[in-house]
Amino acid sequence: MKDKVQNEGVNAEFALKETADMFVSMFESMDNEYMKERAADIRDVTKRVISHLLGVEIPNPSMISEEVVIIAEDLTPSDTAQLNRQFVKGFTTDIGGRTSHSAIMARSMEIPAVVGTKEARSRISNGTMVIVDGLDGEVIIDPSEETIAEYRSKQEQYAQQKIEWAKLVNESTVTKDGVHVELAANIGTPEDVKGVLENGGEGVGLYRTEFLYMGRDQLPTEEEQFTAYKTVLQKMEGKPVVVRTLDIGGDKELPYLHLPKEMNPFLGFRAIRLCLEEQDIFRTQLRALLRASTFGNLKIMFPMIATLQEFRSAKSILLEEKEKLVSEGTEVAGDIEIGIMVEIPSTAVLADVFAKEVDFFSIGTNDLIQYTMAADRMNERVSYLYQPYNPAILRLVSNVIDAAHKEGKWAGMCGEMAGDPIAIPILLGLGLDEFSMSATSILPARSQIKELSKEDIQRFKEEILSMGTTEEVVELVKEKFNV
């Protein structure tokens, strides 16, 4: 940008705009949906810098002082962060998806939002009455009085429902016939623990440690990692914390590692494959985890395990680092459970063999589904094949759970499926021990499970597993279990 100003004689504003447009185009051309949507972040920062250069004041969402629904092409992260929930009753954008920052922040702020409508801005004019249904993903334009009344009632019912759910915060998760299952939460940072505890989480079922490595220009040190892991373990006060070792690759990249580009990164050099080759990175993380283990109830799991030898190699490195620390006089917990993510069909099929050596399984359905159905979950054109209730998926899940129980081990699930109201009865009937989900899904799941009888559901287990289509499974669950 500096060269443009000096050599081409353009002003700073023009140079900034041209440079930013180049990066926007670069990000928008990426195949990865998450990275593609980061183009909005670049536009946001560019707009704000240019406004300062020009001395022009840009609209400030924080100044909204009356009840509105925002209709926009897109909302930047900084725009969304400034929204006042007292006045902004919802928003809809023409572009974006579930992984866009505006959608992620809307969920955490509990503001109803529908993103990726494509045409809301062109169809809705200022002053038009609209209803934004964030639960069902619908935008109703100019609703009738009857529809407004219907949604007012829905709004009141949902508010009342949240009050009822809140009463379950300190209760354990027990079925109608007295069977206890564990409801845990998925987290990415130590700050996320607050939401886990506020929503009555019985543990952390997945700590995605890769977020410690992202958004920076070098690897985190052992000390930085130790502090993060220690903080989470201490805050959870003895409740189980399952930490997944570094899962980089696929849709999560670390530019500073300078890894070669791959034709299909989801099937490439990622997760445990990377860690077993880049052992300095892996050993540093394991040392930090082992040092933190005395501050709580730590469980360690390895991602993307495809073969028994991979697990044995990873476990061997872990035990080597444990032995080194003990010989150095560092205290390490003696009873750390070591498990694996089950996300590859070959591992699910061989679960009976793995179960003899691992301490637990955690089923990662997001990847297990895409690998089983041969459908990239980032590709909208094959999104119809992302079928968590497909009998093929359910048979693999059942096989993993049965194999674990046969060896006296436990099986959990940390994919999106674990918090799905339709999947919950099925998983309960299959015998899943631990359901790990977003923190805000815990109380609704607990409420649902309290109304279910595991014994009743198990009567339908074989019927569900013998079905041929997703639609048949969904129809049975809705009919029998009031979902």
> Which two three-digit tokens encode residue 421?
């109201």
Distance (Å, rounded) from C-alpha 477 to C-alpha 483? 7
User: Which one-letter amino acid corresponds to residue 72?
Assistant: A
Please return the burial class of 59, using the count of CB atoms within 10 Å of its CB with bins 0-12, 13-18 and 19+: exposed
Kindly name the residue from 52, 258, 275, 414 that is annotated as catalytic: 414
Catalytic residue among 52, 101, 275, 405: 101
| Beta carbons within 8 Å of 344's beta carbon, 6+ residues apart | 304, 305, 306, 367, 368, 371
| Catalytic site includes residue 414 | yes
Nearest to 340 by CA among 321, 322, 354: 354
**Dihedral sign of CA atoms 52, 57, 62, 68 in order:** negative
Residue with tokens 């949604």: 151
Q: How far apart (Å, rounded) are the C-alpha atoms in residues 158 and 164?
A: 10
- Distance, CA of 478 to CA of 180 (rounded, Å): 23
Alpha-carbon distance of 301 to 339, in angstroms, equals: 4
Report d(CA 367, CA 265) in Å as an integer: 13
Q: Tell how far CA 381 is from the center of its chain.
A: 22
Cα gap 196→188, rounded to integer Å: 11
**Other Cβ atoms within 10 Å of 422 Cβ, number:** 15
The H or E element that residue 141 is part of is strand 138-141
* Residue 275 falls in the annotated catalytic set: no
| 3-state helix, strand and coil shares in percent for the chain, rounded to the nearest 5 | 50, 15, 35
C-alpha separations of 464 from 345, 352, 414, 480 in Å: 20, 22, 22, 12
Q: Which residues pair with 70 in a beta bridge?
A: 91
Spell out the alpha helix ranges (H) of 431-469.
442-450, 454-458, 461-465
- From the list 324, 459, 344, the residue with the least C-alpha distance to 400 is 344
Tokens of 212: 């410690």
Q: Token pair 């359905």 is at which residue? A: 365
Cα(20)–Cα(39) distance, rounded to whole angstroms? 9
Containing 480, the helix (H) or strand (E) segment is: helix 470-481
Task: Cite the active site residues.
Answer: 101, 414
